[in-house]
Amino acid sequence: MMTRSFSKPSLSTTPSPSSQFWLTRPFGERATQIFLGVLLAALLLVTVLHTVVPQGSPLHVNAYTVNLFGKYLSYALLAVAVDLVWGYLGILSLGHGAFFAIGGYAMGMYLMRQIGDRGTYGHPELPDFMVFLSWDSLPWYWQGFDMAWFSFAMVLLAPGLLALVFGFLAFRSRVTGVYLSIITQALTFALMLAFFRNEMGFGGNNGLTDFREILGFNLRSNDTRLGLFLATGVALALSYILCRAIVSSKLGRVCVATRDAEARTRFIGYRVERFQLFVFVVSAMIAGLAGALYVPQVGIINPSEFSPLFSIEIVLWVALGGRATLYGAVIGAILVNYAKTIFTGVMPDAWLFALGAMFVLVTVFLPKGVAGLLRKRRRAATSDSAGTQEAIV
Amino acid sequence: MSLLQSLKARDRVFDFMAPDASPVDVRHGPILYMEDVTVSFDGFKAINNLNLTIDDGELRCIIGPNGAGKTTMMDIITGKTRPTEGSVWFGSRHNLLHMNEPEIASLGIGRKFQKPTVFEALSVFENLELAMATDKRILPTLTARMTGEIKDRIDEVLQTIGLVPLRYQPAGILSHGQKQWLEIGMLLMQRPRLLLVDEPVAGMTEQEMERTAELLTGLAGKQSVVVVEHDMGFVRSIARKVTVLHQGSVLAEGSMDQVSSDPNVVEVYLGADDEEAA
């Protein structure tokens, strides 16, 4: 028997499948503990710096920045959704922006109905753009969005349903790889064109905007902004736990098996297309949730969120952060968007070049992304002194 | 035939309409029964009137030159290819032509492919865990827990295939021979009734071959094993009964000595000693 230096147990996060309950299993994992710890600390820190530290102090975090962080967190949530299908299932979705935007539109419709008669035209029921188009009643698909519970359910159900139908057709026909990527791209492009049309009843070109209140809280108040930021953080934490629970379950290992050898997985008796569909739908719902948290923070949702470019950008975040780690996606989304904020402020024209350069550099020097770098350092640390695992992430 | 008999039997009415969840019925001897099977791809008959019977617990070697239809035959049994004509029965109760790939797999037919495909990113242990015969629907898979019973079963198979020291290593680092054994182990996890093994020793060292021979002969008896192999030395070392395929049908069947003295076989296959190496 060959005996290279394989005496150490596997370096993968789960040396051996555990016997715990699947939803609580992630809490036993180091990566999750660190991630949740860092996220919680960041949320607390921003809250304290925003509310306790006085305005004049250089440490004070203003409402604009809180809002910006909230936006980053919703992007991070979206990146986690993409990493779940791309990193673990091997489905490169270039259309996740569509689920994000649909979740966003569901939230936008709720926010529009909350405006009530305070719109420019003062119509008690119809949003401004419908009055402008001289419609005399709400289309059927706008019914119910005056109720928060219904709208929030739609935030998850609408993207989930689209993913269910789309995924059912795609996976049943065993469309995978680059063909699936192209079809998802076409899906989001088609939706973009559709939502641009005024007759669709989603505000056409301008989308939905001029929101005022969410659940009775004024959207322009600083406290609401902080609340939305925290809500996004909590959503990110919960979704992370859910995704982590999925990938560290046996189902997660079936996903990885499918990613690496689909035919083989089918042969050992798994209905691969159903697993793909399940994870795809979960991912779409998380993307929808991300969109719904994004919209009240930026104050607008329009068809440009469906743009294929945006969906490709999401994939770049995940690639930069590191695939199949989940926390890598979060790091990537925050890093790239932070860089984007800086660059578009200083040199707006150079942003796309900078993004391209970042992508090339990371691909060449860090093929496993930023998360790969963290892992490598951790591995080096653990092999130097076996006992000091807590050294680095 | 069995359908006609079941129609004649008056104690039960139409038992072919009963659900097919019944255990594999091998009371009549054969576990696999292929009759007059023909497969044609655009007029080319890859399988031509093939008749093959495998007994329960038997170790059977199938040999034949390239293009004899060995792989296509495996494809038919596992449901990957549908024959144009003929019938394929598993035991005397299950018509394999009415079932899809996962159904056939869960019935207890395991197939080892020519090229070893294991899940490289997962550990040896996890590879075996996934292959285990259990409820493979989504929710049971999501909520599955590792129990002592499952662990014991995996350990037992690890022992059989001799990979205990490598259990927590990613399967990607295994040598070629070890991957082949892991794949056989994955098949064993499903507690198969019938194992289809495609060229198990291709690319193996002499030593690995010996271990594989031990492994396969040890398995026969508990389950039926069908081995497709090119390596004559290996076939001779394990085979009790050999079937020679040629141009999609059975050319000869019997012990290795009988078969190798059959003039037809000598002509198409064994005689071409200098080509055999290819």
Task: Give the span between the Cα atoms of A116 and A125, in whole angstroms.
Answer: 6
CB–CB contact A268 B125 (8 Å): no
For B50, phi then psi, to 5°, come to -80, 130
Please name the member of B122, B138, B146 whose beta carbon is closest to the beta carbon of A257. B122
A381 pLDDT more than 90: no
Token readout for B245 is: 């395929």
Task: Give the span between the Cα atoms of A288 and A370, in whole angstroms.
Answer: 26
Band (A391; pLDDT cuts 50, 70, 90): very low
The mean-pLDDT minimum among A109-113, A318-322, B245-249 falls in B245-249
Q: Which residues of A touch B173 (CB under 8 A)?
A: 6
User: How many residues are recorded in chain A?
Assistant: 393
Q: Which residues of B touch A16 (CB under 8 A)?
A: 123, 125, 146, 168
- pLDDT of amino acid B271: 53
Please tell me if residue A24 touches chain B, with a CB cutoff of 8 Å: no
Q: Quick one: angle between helices A272-298 and A96-115, nearest 10?
A: 40
A5 pLDDT more than 50: no
Task: Give the span between the Cα atoms of B96 and B76, in whole angstroms.
Answer: 9
Domain boundaries, chain A: 66-319
A2 pLDDT more than 60: no
Place of tokens 């910006």: A68
CA distance A277 to chain B (A): 10
Interface A-B: count of C-beta contacts within 8 A: 108
What tens digit of pLDDT does each residue of A255-313 get?
Answer: 999 999 998 898 788 999 999 999 999 999 999 999 999 999 999 999 999 999 999 99
In this structure, are residues B253 and B242 in contact, taking their beta carbons and an 8 Å threshold? yes
CB–CB contact A270 B117 (8 Å): no
Task: Give the span between the Cα atoms of A29 and A36, in whole angstroms.
Answer: 11
Give the residue on B whose Cα is nearest the Cα of A278: B138
- pLDDT of amino acid A177: 86
Using only C-alpha atoms, chain A has a radius of gyration, in whole angstroms, of: 22
Task: Give the span between the Cα atoms of B62 and B81, in whole angstroms.
Answer: 19
CB–CB contact B168 A17 (8 Å): no
CB–CB contact A10 B170 (8 Å): yes
Task: Give the span between the Cα atoms of A13 and A121, in whole angstroms.
Answer: 58
- pLDDT of amino acid A104: 97
CB–CB contact B117 A261 (8 Å): yes
Token readout for B256 is: 């290795």
- Residues of B in CB contact (< 8 Å) with A are 78, 101-102, 105-106, 111, 113, 117-123, 125-126, 129-131, 133, 136-138, 141-147, 162, 165-166, 168-170, 173, 175, 186, 190
CA angle A135, A137, A141 (to 5 degrees): 105
Token readout for B242 is: 């050999």
Q: Which residues of B touch A256 (CB under 8 A)?
A: 119, 121-122
Place of tokens 């000595």: B257
Place of tokens 């710890």: A37
Give the residue on A whose Cα is nearest the Cα of B186: A268
Give the C-alpha distances (Å, rounded to integers) separating A203 from A301, A310, A343, B9: 10, 20, 31, 71
Q: Which residues of B touch A251 (CB under 8 A)?
A: 138, 141-142, 144
Task: Give the span between the Cα atoms of A246 and B200, in whole angstroms.
Answer: 35
Please name the member of B113, B144, B170 whose beta carbon is closest to the beta carbon of A250. B144
CB–CB contact A12 B123 (8 Å): yes
Q: Which residues of A touch B129 (CB under 8 A)?
A: 17, 250, 253
- pLDDT of amino acid A26: 87
- pLDDT of amino acid B157: 92
Let me know how many helices (H) and strands (E) chain B has, helices first.
12, 10
Token readout for A173 is: 């026909």
CB–CB contact A250 B130 (8 Å): yes
The mean-pLDDT minimum among A87-96, A318-327, B230-239 falls in B230-239
CB–CB contact A1 B102 (8 Å): no
What tens digit of pLDDT does each residue of B84-102 get?
Answer: 889 998 888 888 888 888 7
User: Which residue in B135, B136, B146 has the most chain A C-beta atoms within 10 A of its own C-beta, making it the best mutation to test that interface?
Assistant: B136
What's the whole-number average pLDDT of chain A? 88
Q: What is the mean pLDDT of each run of 10 residues along chain B (278 residues)?
A: 60 52 70 90 86 90 85 89 90 85 83 84 93 87 88 92 91 91 90 88 87 88 87 84 89 87 78 46
Task: Give the span between the Cα atoms of A330 and A108, in whole angstroms.
Answer: 25
CB–CB contact A17 B146 (8 Å): yes
User: Which residue in A13, A242, A268 has the most chain B C-beta atoms within 10 A of its own C-beta, making it the best mutation to test that interface?
Assistant: A268
Q: Which residues of A touch B137 (CB under 8 A)?
A: 271, 274
- pLDDT of amino acid B261: 85
For B10, phi then psi, to 5°, come to -95, -10
The mean-pLDDT minimum among A60-64, A384-388, B157-161 falls in A384-388
Band (A20; pLDDT cuts 50, 70, 90): confident
Task: Give the span between the Cα atoms of B247 and B245, in whole angstroms.
Answer: 7
Task: Give the span between the Cα atoms of A57 and A80, in whole angstroms.
Answer: 35
- pLDDT of amino acid B7: 61
A8 pLDDT more than 60: no
Strands A217-218 vs B30-41: parallel, antiparallel or unpaired? unpaired
Task: Give the span between the Cα atoms of A7 and A199, in whole angstroms.
Answer: 66
Predicted TM-score (pTM) above 0.90: no
* Domains defined along chain B, listed by start: 23-276 (3.40.50.300)
Amino acid B95 reads: N
Amino acid A320 reads: L
CB–CB contact A249 B143 (8 Å): yes
Band (A388; pLDDT cuts 50, 70, 90): very low
Residues 6+ apart with CB under 8 A from B21: none
- pLDDT of amino acid A194: 95
A14 pLDDT more than 60: no
Task: Give the span between the Cα atoms of B19 and A278, in whole angstroms.
Answer: 28
Q: Which residue has the higher pLDDT, B101 or A212?
A: A212
In this structure, are residues A205 and A196 in contact, taking their beta carbons and an 8 Å threshold? yes
CA angle B80, B84, B88 (to 5 degrees): 65
- pLDDT of amino acid B278: 39
- pLDDT of amino acid A23: 85
Token readout for B121 is: 């990113």
Place of tokens 């939803």: A23
CA distance A166 to chain B (A): 19
Task: Give the span between the Cα atoms of A326 and A332, in whole angstroms.
Answer: 10
CA distance A270 to chain B (A): 6
Task: Give the mean pLDDT of A182-194.
Answer: 95
CB–CB contact B141 A270 (8 Å): yes
Task: Give the span between the Cα atoms of B234 and A44, in whole angstroms.
Answer: 68
- pLDDT of amino acid A13: 41
Please tell me if residue A268 touches chain B, with a CB cutoff of 8 Å: yes
Burial class (CB in 10 A: 0-12, 13-18, 19+), B16: exposed
Q: Which residues of A touch B144 (CB under 8 A)?
A: 22, 249-251
- pLDDT of amino acid B117: 85
Token readout for A134 is: 């001289």
Please name the member of B111, B113, B123 whose beta carbon is closest to the beta carbon of A10. B123
A227 pLDDT more than 70: yes
A238 pLDDT more than 60: yes
CB–CB contact A17 B133 (8 Å): no
CB–CB contact A1 B162 (8 Å): yes
Residues of A numbered 244-263 whose beta carbons fall under 8 angstroms of chain B's beta carbons: which are they? 246, 249-251, 253-254, 256-257, 259-261, 263
- ipTM over the 0.90 cut-off: no
In this structure, are residues B110 and B44 in contact, taking their beta carbons and an 8 Å threshold? no
